[in-house]
Structure 1
Amino acid sequence: MKTSEPSPKLDIEHAFVSDDPRRWSNARKWGIVALISAASMIAGLNSNIYNPAISQIEAELHASDGEISLSLSIFIIIQGGFPLIWSAISEIQGRKIVYLVSIAICTVGCTVAATSRSIGVLIGSRCLQAAGSSAVVAIGAATLADIYEPHERGTMMGIYYCAPLLGPSLGPIIGGVLTQVFDWRATFWFLVIFTGLCCLSFLMFKDTFRRERSLSYQAAVRRVLEHQAAQQAAQRSETSSMTHVAGVLGTPGSVTPQDISEVQSDKLSGKVTPEGEKTVADADVEAQAPEMKRAPSSIPDVKLSLKDVNPVGPLIHVLRRLNNIAILTASGLLYAFGYSILYTCSRTLANEYGYDALKIGLVLLAYGAGSLVGSIVGGRYSDHVFRQLKAKNGGISRPEMRLESTLPGMLFLPGAVAAYGWICEEHVTVAAICVMLFLSGFFSIYIYSSTLAYIVDANVGRSSSAVATNSCFRGITAFIAAEIAIPLLDSIGDGGLYSLWAGLTVIAELLIVLVWWKGAAWREVAEAREKRQNASRR
């Protein structure tokens, strides 16, 4: 009797899918990168474009400093937290619908802001803008994970992340020009046009999401199946005698909830094929099974709706891992530093150097330029190191390998940060400020691009949830940085503030080194724990 050869074991990252996005042409992939990169500028533009017009807004809408500060702070916190909801929806309904709905909400928010007649309405519209603009950065990184292999992601993340970095740099310049030529409402009408064009562009977007590669989707299917099994068993128990329990597996129509749950779970995880043959795949999808064998047909055809979206579950799974907590904290500190330096530099240039909004925007371009170069260089070097270490390790890779590429940047970042602060403190020429802004942007984003790629690589099957959790950490740390920056600046000056930030960047670097050293062991412990927990439920 002829036996068929066993198919190769595959992790969920490489589960069989129809129309595999990773096999699409380079032209189509680059088109997707260009589209999501353009859309990712929405977040940065929304948060910064109306800063030059704050004085006009205060005068026309009779707003207080506290109300203006609230409009800035609430935008940061909502923009940081809302990606958790968008990512959960994208793991059930796909990426395209999230892009379309979120950008449409942002467009509505911009329209309301442009026509607002009171500060209360403006603050409310800013909430809509924050919620709508928050999706693209998180879902964009997940989209790149959908279409690129791990060894390509560092480079593509670096290229993609250039666009969000342009927003904070170009926003004040565009806002300053529009405010001087027209008025503050023109900044929001500009955003209406930009977001509207992005939304229309996504109508042609081909969804990259594949349910076979999503642990969150499969976990949702499992919950639905188990719920259906329990309902069916309860209905049958009313008309069937319990004396048939002994023959439950062989008697159609007499099944216990546990039996149905086990059979459906086996089918979902790939243990049972359509012919009923068992595979060597791991039984539990919710655990990070590294060797999961699955064809597209192995997932039951269950219709999921928004009521099956659970943003809390994926968040908890991400935060249960020590490597995730450490790298997310480091990522949050690096992002908060960038937010702080742009915020306080604007004030320093205005108060100490007498610069207007347009000149301030031009100086801040130095930070944006450094960030762009750092993102590209850091991403490419990250992939280079990853491929090199993988080859040395016999073709076996670990996500932590790419973190070794951050070491050169770690040597210079704290010094550049401290030097910027004391140059401002001593009122040195603006040219020196531009140089230190460039270096600070370069080294911080050089490191950050690798941490972002690591977050995606280390959370196979939950990439969008992991990136959304990263956005949440960034939002919280940026909110705190925005609230304490000016009081600290007034009390200890630029020199003291950025000496403090130099110390915080050292802490971030130590956390990254810790993950580089211990991250693989932490992940293995977490995976084993998840498997045990899910086995105990069954």
Structure 2
Amino acid sequence: MTPYDVAGNTSPSSNSASLMTSMDISPATEPSTQDLEKQELPFQLPSPDDRAPYSYFTKQEKRLIIVLITFAGLFSPLSSFIYFPAITSLSSSLNVSVEKINLTITSYMVVAGIAPAVIGSMSDVTGRRFVYLLTMGIYTAANVGLALCNNWASLLVLRMVQSAGSAATIAIAYGVVSDIASPAERGSYVGAVLTGPNIAPAMGPVIGGLLVQYASWRWIFGFLAIISGVCLVLIIFFLQETSRFIVGNGSKPAQGIHCTLLSYILKNKAHEASTGPESVDTSLPKKPSRIPNPLVSLRMLFFPDTIIITLVYSVYYTTFSCIQASLSLLFIQIYGLTEFQAGLIYLPFGFGAALGSWLAGKVMDRDYRIVAVQHGITVDKVRGDDLTKFPIEKARFRSVWWTIGISGASVVGYGWAVERKASLAAPLILQFIAGTTIAMTFNLHGTLLTDIHPKAPASAQAANNIVRCAMAAGGLALLQPILDHVGPGWCFTIFGGTMLGCLGLAWVEWRFGMSWRQKLKKERPSLYVAGSSVPLEPIREHDEGIKVPTASQTTQRPRRDRLKLLAIFLAILIGCAITAGTTYALVRDIQRDIANSRSAVSPRDRTFWMHLARRKYDACYYGCHDCSNPSHAYDACAETAKINITGVICDGNVMWNWKHRYPVQCLGEMANICKRDMFKESRSNHLKRLGWLVFTILAGIVGGLMVIVVSKAKALLKVGGSEVHGFAIFNFKYLYIVIYM
């Protein structure tokens, strides 16, 4: 069937004649019910027999694209884990405390959780290649700056920039796979893409330790700058644009920055030559002109299938992070390994994760074929299958039962093997098994999340990233207290039991997922279109009775449009400046608090703590001369009475009759109590300030997003073609609609 834009006809009559001729239908032919149903769709879909291939990229081109995006996906986990061996070296080199270096890790995680929501939405709108160029350029520049930085403030800021440049690469990679791979072959491609990111956490500590030991911490960032620069050059030369609303299925010519530099140098016009009207994927609308909306990612979390998949993924990611975070500490304490040997124990888990990614791809493709045969569906790798009628949940989750079962059991076994000080081979083997099955579970859920959000796969992965990073941060905060109180055995029993509990969530998605998709498609057809991967569409005329401006109306007043965009940009810039200033003030406050605490209180200065203990007892004997409330002395005596030492009385109300009123045992125990209480209070203050820091960053981002939301809502308020000015007419109904665009 010849599409209108290819035929070159502009009038309705010529378009109708061309369409009738191509379909061999006379003007008198009465349309069928199926034709009428097709006319009600948001855009016309071709018949299954006439559909263009899902992707025109050759197998070699797909492999090159997968290699490049796998390379780019390495940097987010690698940047995190390669940094750990340099913490002590950074502390001494920059003359700051370890707590301040740990603050750079926290800030890195905060940005890593937020950035993909913005960048993922941008890649769904502006294209994959442009966003890869932008993020890898930022990441490379940040590494160069980190290699040259000489103070803690620049380290903190550049680590946040580094995180912003690398955090979204995995989410964008899912989008690229959705662009070039049909559902039947998507599993293998996802498995290949995640092989690199899964092995990076194992290789990072080893590489970082070697660089710190034989060079310096600066060479960690120098190494990252070199390899990311190589990746950026390869992307500039070889990474083709894959976004389906820019190049369609690969048959549409890319323009401008979406073209590779190699195509300019060699004058390669392979993708610009059209073999005929049938080579263009007519199921795809033209690229929409709109501002990327990070709220798309948050909106996806309200879909039941999305939140279930995201929760399971987050539980597994939290366990994955906690195992990685506790490896070196546990093995050094329990097995007496050196720091270099402790770095090597990451390898079994990492190699298992890499193997699991590859196996998951093969398993998913096999399960897809089996489920298709069971339901009498012929798999079409060329054109892609209609997922509206295909039980993709049953295909992706066909093997999830044994991956969840084995992974949960292996994590529990790993914890008790370490607890009982079993042979070193036992926990390492269990690590390998856990890494393999956890990675397989990652791939199964991540691929299904891409399948059910074909229009915005990168935004869907960004939503997943927000939840998993938040849950992992909470899990890491609880990890050490749990280890201290119950030991590694029960600690990882808790994690493993939580993983096994995900079987229930997986069953709910397996059982009801397809019905949820079909129901949502009927309620909002613009969100799900079978078998396609196109950008989110704007609100249509049937939504809330709002009239969408015509093409002629959108071209009016270009000067005012430019001024509006400039105003939006300035508002966002001012919001970012306020956020940055407030963030800097909070960070400096935390810095001063830590410095004051360390200058006044040294963990090695036992005299200070004994002095505090004597002041407790002095209050019992002489009262509290410098306290506003005399009851402080009674409180101090009551506190000393809580000390429980066999054979020694530590109650200040009784000890005053003694000749030696300061027993060494009582003073020592009270010194420990004072030390514990003061550090607990200091840690609480730091967490409160950190909470305000995170809140400030989120408030600044939300403020910038609200400017975009209000501008969109105002643009939609049109009555008879004339714009309604002022905010008096603006109400929450339009805000709700804009958020759900």
Q: Place the TM-score, normalised by the shorter chain, in its bin.
A: 0.7 to 0.9
Please list the CA deviations of residues 443-483 of structure 1 after superposition, one character each: whole Å capped at 9, or x if unmatched: 11122211111000011211111111112222112222222
Choose the corresponding residue for 1:502, options 496, 506, 518.
496
1: CA distance, partners of 2:181 / 2:525: 28
Partner of 2:294: 311
Alignment coverage as a number of residue pairs: 455
Please list the CA deviations of residues 221-256 of structure 1 after superposition, one character each: whole Å capped at 9, or x if unmatched: xxxxxxxxxxxxxxxxxxxxxxxxxxxxxxxxxxxx
Partner of 1:101: 134
- Counterpart of 2:210, as a letter, is V
Choose the corresponding residue for 1:364, options 316, 336, 346.
346
Partner of 1:489: 483
Q: Are residue 112 (structure 1) and residue 145 (structure 2) matched?
A: yes
Choose the corresponding residue for 1:183, options 193, 216, 221.
216
- Three-state SS of the structure 1 residue aligned to 2:422 is coil
Q: Are residue 335 (structure 1) and residue 317 (structure 2) matched?
A: yes
Counterparts of 1:412-491 in structure 2, within 5 Å, are 412-491=406-485
1: CA distance, partners of 2:299 / 2:241: 25
Q: Are the equivalent residues in 2 in contact too, given 1:12–1:461 (CA < 8 A)?
A: no
2: CA distance, partners of 1:376 / 1:350: 31
Counterparts of 1:53-64 in structure 2, within 5 Å, are 53-64=86-97
Q: Are residue 76 (structure 1) and residue 109 (structure 2) matched?
A: yes
Q: Are the equivalent residues in 2 in contact too, given 1:146–1:209 (CA < 8 A)?
A: yes
Counterparts of 1:375-394 in structure 2, within 5 Å, are 375-394=357-376
Q: Go from structure 1 to structure 2 and tell me whether the alpha carbon gap of 1:93 and 1:531 turns closer, same or farther (over 3 Å shift).
A: closer
Partner of 1:163: 196
2: CA distance, partners of 1:19 / 1:388: 25
- Three-state SS of the structure 2 residue aligned to 1:537 is coil
Kindly state the Cα deviation for residue 530 of structure 1 after the two structures are TM-superposed.
Answer: 2.4
Q: Go from structure 1 to structure 2 and tell me whether the alpha carbon gap of 1:433 and 1:85 turns closer, same or farther (over 3 Å shift).
A: same
- Three-state SS of the structure 2 residue aligned to 1:211 is coil
Choose the corresponding residue for 1:520, options 497, 514, 521.
514
Kindly state the Cα deviation for residue 429 of structure 1 after the two structures are TM-superposed.
Answer: 2.3
Kindly state the Cα deviation for residue 64 of structure 1 after the two structures are TM-superposed.
Answer: 2.3
Q: Are the equivalent residues in 1 in contact too, given 2:211–2:220 (CA < 8 A)?
A: yes
2: CA distance, partners of 1:464 / 1:23: 21
Partner of 1:347: 329
Kindly state the Cα deviation for residue 386 of structure 1 after the two structures are TM-superposed.
Answer: 1.4
2: CA distance, partners of 1:168 / 1:526: 38
Q: Go from structure 1 to structure 2 and tell me whether the alpha carbon gap of 1:388 and 1:513 turns closer, same or farther (over 3 Å shift).
A: same
- Three-state SS of the structure 2 residue aligned to 1:160 is helix
Please list the CA deviations of residues 71-124 of structure 1 after superposition, one character each: whole Å capped at 9, or x if unmatched: 222212211221111111112211111101111111122122212222222121
1: CA distance, partners of 2:45 / 2:446: 21
Structure of greater relative contact order (alpha carbons < 8 Å, 6+ residues apart): 1
2: CA distance, partners of 1:19 / 1:381: 28
Q: Are residue 23 (structure 1) and residue 52 (structure 2) matched?
A: no
Q: Are the equivalent residues in 2 in contact too, given 1:15–1:213 (CA < 8 A)?
A: no
- Three-state SS of the structure 1 residue aligned to 2:242 is coil
Q: Go from structure 1 to structure 2 and tell me whether the alpha carbon gap of 1:377 and 1:15 turns closer, same or farther (over 3 Å shift).
A: farther
Please list the CA deviations of residues 492-519 of structure 1 after superposition, one character each: whole Å capped at 9, or x if unmatched: 2111210110121022232122101111
Counterparts of 1:26-41 in structure 2, within 5 Å, are 26-41=59-74
Counterparts of 1:144-223 in structure 2, within 5 Å, are 144-204=177-237, 205-211=239-245
1: CA distance, partners of 2:308 / 2:80: 27
Q: Are the equivalent residues in 1 in contact too, given 2:245–2:285 (CA < 8 A)?
A: no
Q: Give unpaired runs (5+ residues) of structure 2.
A: 1-16, 26-33, 249-279, 378-388, 527-538, 546-741
Kindly state the Cα deviation for residue 19 of structure 1 after the two structures are TM-superposed.
Answer: 10
Q: Are the equivalent residues in 2 in contact too, given 1:334–1:448 (CA < 8 A)?
A: yes
Q: Give unpaired runs (5+ residues) of structure 1.
A: 215-292
Q: Are the equivalent residues in 2 in contact too, given 1:73–1:482 (CA < 8 A)?
A: no
Q: Are the equivalent residues in 2 in contact too, given 1:99–1:135 (CA < 8 A)?
A: no
Q: Are residue 397 (structure 1) and residue 394 (structure 2) matched?
A: no
Q: Are residue 537 (structure 1) and residue 544 (structure 2) matched?
A: yes
Aligned sequence identity (%): 25
2: CA distance, partners of 1:11 / 1:323: 23
Partner of 2:635: none
Q: Go from structure 1 to structure 2 and tell me whether the alpha carbon gap of 1:25 and 1:372 turns closer, same or farther (over 3 Å shift).
A: same
Q: Are the equivalent residues in 2 in contact too, given 1:172–1:357 (CA < 8 A)?
A: no
Deviates most, 327-336 or 110-119? 110-119
2: CA distance, partners of 1:459 / 1:212: 18
2: CA distance, partners of 1:14 / 1:340: 47
Partner of 1:121: 154
Please list the CA deviations of residues 379-403 of structure 1 after superposition, one character each: whole Å capped at 9, or x if unmatched: 2111211111112212152220211
Partner of 2:642: none
Q: Are the equivalent residues in 2 in contact too, given 1:21–1:208 (CA < 8 A)?
A: no
Kindly state the Cα deviation for residue 150 of structure 1 after the two structures are TM-superposed.
Answer: 0.4
1: CA distance, partners of 2:195 / 2:284: 38
Kindly state the Cα deviation for residue 38 of structure 1 after the two structures are TM-superposed.
Answer: 1.0
Q: Are residue 321 (structure 1) and residue 303 (structure 2) matched?
A: yes
Cα root mean square deviation, aligned: 2.8
Kindly state the Cα deviation for residue 487 of structure 1 after the two structures are TM-superposed.
Answer: 2.1
Choose the corresponding residue for 1:295, options 275, 282, 304.
282
Q: Are the equivalent residues in 2 in contact too, given 1:212–1:296 (CA < 8 A)?
A: no
1: CA distance, partners of 2:365 / 2:519: 26
Choose the corresponding residue for 1:44, options 56, 74, 77.
77
- Counterpart of 1:519, as a letter, is G
- Counterpart of 2:282, as a letter, is A
Q: Go from structure 1 to structure 2 and tell me whether the alpha carbon gap of 1:14 and 1:438 turns closer, same or farther (over 3 Å shift).
A: farther
Please, what TM-score do these two structures have when normalized by structure 1? 0.79
Q: Are the equivalent residues in 2 in contact too, given 1:76–1:478 (CA < 8 A)?
A: no
Q: Which has the higher helix share?
A: 1
Larger Rg: 2
Q: Go from structure 1 to structure 2 and tell me whether the alpha carbon gap of 1:492 and 1:144 turns closer, same or farther (over 3 Å shift).
A: same
- Counterpart of 1:397, as a letter, is F
2: CA distance, partners of 1:18 / 1:178: 54
Partner of 2:701: none
Q: Are the equivalent residues in 1 in contact too, given 2:188–2:362 (CA < 8 A)?
A: yes
- Counterpart of 1:207, as a letter, is E
- Three-state SS of the structure 1 residue aligned to 2:447 is helix
Please, what TM-score do these two structures have when normalized by structure 2? 0.58
Q: Go from structure 1 to structure 2 and tell me whether the alpha carbon gap of 1:297 and 1:505 turns closer, same or farther (over 3 Å shift).
A: closer
Q: Go from structure 1 to structure 2 and tell me whether the alpha carbon gap of 1:18 and 1:79 turns closer, same or farther (over 3 Å shift).
A: farther
2: CA distance, partners of 1:15 / 1:115: 56
